[in-house]
Amino acid sequence: MKVACIQMDMMFAKPDDNFKKAVSLVKEATAGGADTVVLPETWNTGFYPKENLAELSDDDGKRTKEVFGALAKELNVNIVAGSVANRRKDGVYNTCYVFNRQGQCVASYDKAHLFSPMQEDRFFKKGDHLSTFVLDGIRCGVIICYDVRFPRQTRTMAINGMDMMFMVSQWPLVRVPHLDALTKARAIENQMFVVCCNSAGKAGETVYGGNSSVNDPWGTTIAHAKGQQEEIIFADCDTTILKGIRESINVFADRRHDLY
CATH number (domain holding residue 123): 3.60.110.10
pLDDT of residue 123: 98
When pLDDT is cut at 50, 70 and 90, the band that residue 228 belongs to is very high
Q: For 234-260, what is each residue's pLDDT tens digit?
A: 999 999 999 999 999 999 999 999 998
Whole-structure pTM value: 0.98
Q: Which member of 5, 21, 41, 65 is catalytic?
A: 41
User: Would residue 254 count as lying in a domain?
Assistant: no
Q: Which member of 145, 196, 197, 237 is catalytic?
A: 145
pLDDT of residue 157: 97
Cis peptide before 109 (omega within 30 of 0): no
User: Would residue 214 count as lying in a domain?
Assistant: yes
User: Would residue 259 count as lying in a domain?
Assistant: no
111 is catalytic: yes
Nearest Cα to Cα of residue 144 among 79, 209, 195: 195
Mean pLDDT across 7-32: 98
3-state helix, strand and coil shares in percent for the chain, rounded to the nearest 5: 30, 30, 40
Mean pLDDT across 186-212: 97
Mean pLDDT across 48-75: 98
Q: How many domains are there within the chain?
A: 1
Mean pLDDT across 66-84: 98
pLDDT of residue 188: 98
User: Would residue 122 count as lying in a domain?
Assistant: yes
**Helical (H) or strand (E) element with 6:** strand 2-7
User: Would residue 253 count as lying in a domain?
Assistant: no
Q: Which member of 65, 111, 120, 140 is catalytic?
A: 111
- What values do phi and psi take at 99, rounded to 5? -125, 135
pLDDT of residue 59: 98
pLDDT of residue 173: 98
Cα-Cα-Cα-Cα dihedral sign, residues 26, 27, 31, 35: positive
pLDDT of residue 177: 98
The 8-class DSSP code of residue 127 comes to P
User: Would residue 51 count as lying in a domain?
Assistant: yes
Counting DSSP H helices and E strands in the chain, the numbers are 7, 16
Mean pLDDT across 222-243: 97
pLDDT of residue 98: 99
**Domain assignment of residue 145, given as a range:** 2-248
Q: 42 near 141, Cβ under 8 Å? A: no
